[in-house]
Structure 1
Amino acid sequence: MTADRPASTPARISARVGGIAESATLAVDAKAKALKAEGRPVIGFGAGEPDFPTPPYIVEAAVAACSQPANHRYTPAGGLPDLKKAIAAKTARDSGYQVEPAQVLVTNGGKQAVYEAFATLLDPGDEVVLPAPYWTTYPEAIRLAGGVPVEVLADETQDYLVTVEQLEAARSERTKVLLFCSPSNPTGSVYPREQVEAIGRWALEHGIWVVTDEIYEHLTYDGVRAESMPVMVPELADTCVVLNGVAKTYAMTGWRVGWLIGPTDVVKAATNLQSHATSNVANVSQRAAIAALEGDLTAVDEMKVAFDRRRRRIVEMLNEIDGVLCPEPKGAFYVYPSVKGLLGREVAGRTATTTTELAEIILEAAEVAVVPGEAFGSPGYLRLSYALGDDDLVEGVSRLQKLFG
């Protein structure tokens, strides 16, 4: 006789977590670093982080914080009071948005702010209008929170900026949130003032929450300004969550300090969630963030000079490749060229039919790491970060020119 067996064996991994896709940008960066460790001269355009060190005055504040016993203990889950005050002051200074410290939640990097915003706002089946191309984490965080991403695609002919008409076409009775990001990752596009206001008015009219990611607010070029939606549409403040952090502006990606700003009831609920998930952000990192926000933007401006120079150079060089069309971005530190003209062409003995396959060929044949557009919801494109040294940038794109020449 055989022992009775269950009719089915439970899955080892939950459907909720098993359905999450790996971060494509981190995967590309990890592969590039692994190949470098093997001695291969790989040049990586995948990582979305400044190549500069954190400014010394911020590091010095962290060093001093290490010796203070108060920083060796638990602190409030929602953030150090001094940091919440600094975030409120910085927000007023930089975008003109007046908020109180009680409207601030300090998170373990921007990604936790993204997830907690959606987890706090969404019930199962709620829809989030998600402009594409989008940062890879957005749809995964939405799904993990039980929501349904509804993608709205804007291509290079409209500078990757969605219109109110497109958003309205995507709206349904289940729509609860609009995700808005300007300057954009992955495209670097920046919404002009009038378009920010028009989109905010549309959301207000239809009772739709806005989650707006302002992490690249200071990285703009050619005199362009990134406008904050709740400043453009003040009536939206009660149904708007602003996401931000120190990572991109102050070259502090590894310090893991982000935040969300919103109505006090939303912030209180999100803080309760965080109290069970991670508790407080590391106190030394919080002290470093206070120093960053209370300092001036001199170091940021110096980084922007380098980014601007690289931006112009990479756009020029990419547009010299037959089959590539690269708009000039006005923000962040990415370019997002259309490479549809390279698909179906034999390269290094292979023919790519997708940009995922094209990125694989580029890595193997040219030892250059790029991220395919499939990761951002828009096949036919590649994302390249120009947050790397000038010499590596020129060498990397020169390899692409030679590969497709």
Structure 2
Amino acid sequence: MTVAKSNSLVARLSAPPIPSVIAWGREYKGGKGPLIDLSQAVPGYPAHPEMLRLLGEAAGQQVMTGYGPIEGEPLLRAAYAAHLAELYGAELSAGNIHITAGCNQAFMCTAIALAGADDTVALTNPFYFNHDTTLSMLGIGRQLVHCDPAAGFLPDLRSAEVALAAGAKMLAVVTPNNPTGAVYPPSLLHELFVLCRKHGAWLVLDETYRDFLAEGYGRPHFLLSEPGWEDTLVLLYSFSKSFCIPGHRLGAITAGPRLIAEIAKVMDNMQICAPRSAQIAVASALPVLADWRAGNRLEIARRADALRLAVSGLAGWEIAAIGAYFAFVRHPFADRSSSEVAERLAREAGVVCIPGAYFGEGQERYLRLAFANADVGSIELLSQRLG
């Protein structure tokens, strides 16, 4: 009898990382106090009551039980385009927007539309692990772009040019970054854009954590004002973090109309349409919850400050980069792998985080702390737990 085999491109992947580190936390006996979960990037506070009301109201409509437009509900596409146009001072319309079931799906749809099996895509090192595994299961090669810890884990332009000159079809970057928290300044993003245009590649910019830039930061970049940006740039976004609705799975792609049409072909075969009631609810919530979202940005900043203070007095521990939801922290145990350190922290100290090795090559001395998940009081306990 011949044994049937699964897809080798999927079989070679490791198990999803979040459940594995959460399993370590389940073995914690509580001796140091309550468990502090800094693993997954989920909002550490509830959705606004008005958001919940809008979701319930939309979900109760009979029309929402049917299929919707592949590209997304016209109401949300128009509302989000107007939101981006104001944010970036650019001309955008609903035709530039495609709604997806979360930002991971936005990346997968974009990757399929832009690259094929045996093509190569450039990722920063460290990278967001779901970007890497998506490419791997699609049979798309990976070229790593070096990010220097001494420079706050910003991508090295020379390394990026090497990857693009070698034929990478696209360069995918995340800012504010996951896992490091590093914020890529507008000037750097412009230089990456110019490099991609020079080599005929796409710059895919994941802005999932854009709404948590520091107060008064200004425009994250000016790329949407570049002539012909539609031939080089793709923006990805998630509504999950800003509106505290990750379970409703809602993301967005911003691109030129021609690429939106290609992505619609992918989406039609992947999901047909994103969840409809959440789209209608978020379209209404975008303007009415603007002040609430701004308040959340300040709360996340307070949590970042608490983490800086908690780590500052710990011998051997160092925050290599921090921003938005994440801190990439260098641990003091040179003779231990990041997995060993993270597992021991979870089981013995009740602190769940993700090993740096999960995010790329040469990251064994680092741990990712998703500090947005915890309140200030819990973060203050880290000075004792890590010590």
Which TM-score band (shorter chain)? over 0.9
CA distance in 2, matches of 1:135, 1:108: 18
The answer to whether 1:356 aligns with 2:370 is: no
CA displacement at 1:235 relative to structure 2: 3.3
CA distance in 1, matches of 2:207, 2:343: 32
Cross-structure match for 1:203: 196
Task: State how 1:175-194 maps to structure 2 within 5 Å.
Answer: 175-194=168-187
Q: 2:234 aligns with which of 241, 253, 256?
A: 241
CA displacement at 1:316 relative to structure 2: 2.1
Task: State how 1:38-77 maps to structure 2 within 5 Å.
Answer: 41-77=34-70
Contact 1:204 1:236 in 2 (8 A): no
Task: State how 1:370-381 maps to structure 2 within 5 Å.
Answer: 370-377=353-360, 378-381=363-366
CA distance in 1, matches of 2:328, 2:291: 28
CA displacement at 1:110 relative to structure 2: 0.8
- 378-387 or 264-273: bigger deviation: 264-273
Ranked by relative contact order (alpha carbons within 8 Å, sequence separation 6 or more), the top structure is 2
Q: 1:82 to 1:261 in 2, by over 3 A?
A: same
Cross-structure match for 2:114: 121
The answer to whether 1:150 aligns with 2:148 is: no
- 205-214 or 168-177: bigger deviation: 168-177
Q: What is the count of residue pairs matched by the alignment?
A: 383
Q: 1:31 to 1:284 in 2, by over 3 A?
A: farther
Q: 1:218 to 1:26 in 2, by over 3 A?
A: farther
Cross-structure match for 1:385: 370
CA distance in 2, matches of 1:153, 1:226: 26
Please state whether the residue corresponding to 1:337 is helix, strand or coil.
strand
CA distance in 2, matches of 1:287, 1:99: 20
Contact 1:186 1:334 in 2 (8 A): yes
CA displacement at 1:22 relative to structure 2: 3.1
Deviations 1:173-203 (A, max 9, x none): 4311000211111111111121111111111
Q: 1:279 to 1:259 in 2, by over 3 A?
A: same
CA distance in 2, matches of 1:282, 1:31: 33
Cross-structure match for 1:221: 214
RMSD of equivalent CA atoms: 2.2
CA displacement at 1:374 relative to structure 2: 0.6
CA distance in 2, matches of 1:371, 1:319: 20
Normalised to the residue count of structure 1, the TM-score between the two structures is 0.88
Deviations 1:354-378 (A, max 9, x none): 1111111111221211111011112
Please state whether the residue corresponding to 2:121 is helix, strand or coil.
strand
Deviations 1:253-289 (A, max 9, x none): 1221101121223222221222222122222211222
Q: 1:167 to 1:315 in 2, by over 3 A?
A: same
Please state whether the residue corresponding to 1:342 is helix, strand or coil.
coil
Q: 1:277 to 1:371 in 2, by over 3 A?
A: same
Deviations 1:87-132 (A, max 9, x none): 2111112233432212221111111101111011111221111112
Task: State how 1:16-165 maps to structure 2 within 5 Å.
Answer: 16-29=9-22, 31-32=24-25, 34-35=26-27, 41-165=34-158
CA distance in 2, matches of 1:205, 1:139: 24
Q: 1:173 to 1:152 in 2, by over 3 A?
A: closer
Deviations 1:268-318 (A, max 9, x none): 222122222212222221122212223242111211222111111211221
Contact 2:164 2:196 in 1 (8 A): no
Cross-structure match for 2:333: 342
Please state whether the residue corresponding to 1:98 is helix, strand or coil.
coil
Larger Rg: 1
CA displacement at 1:241 relative to structure 2: 1.4
Identity of aligned residues (%): 23
Please state whether the residue corresponding to 1:326 is helix, strand or coil.
strand
Q: 1:254 to 1:88 in 2, by over 3 A?
A: same
- 176-185 or 290-299: bigger deviation: 290-299
Contact 1:200 1:229 in 2 (8 A): no
Cross-structure match for 1:369: 352
CA distance in 1, matches of 2:116, 2:153: 29
- 238-247 or 286-295: bigger deviation: 286-295
